[in-house]
Amino acid sequence: MKSNSILLVDDSRTTRSYVKLILEKEGYFVSKVENGLLALEYI
């Protein structure tokens, strides 16, 4: 199992949810935000 974290940034809620599901099945810990500004605040 991977221990890597990913910050997923996309303005589409559907895309974020779908991609998060796929990445988590691959063993990644995924945080998601809806735009670049929020991503900068997150990191």
pLDDT digits (tens, 9 = 90+) for 7-33: 999 999 999 999 999 999 999 999 999
pLDDT of residue 3 exceeding 70, the answer is: no
pLDDT of residue 39 exceeding 50, the answer is: yes
Is residue 9 within 8 A of residue 33, CB to CB? The reply is: yes
Structural domain range at position 35: 5-42
Count of structural domains within the chain: 1
Alpha carbon distance 28, 4 (integer Å): 6
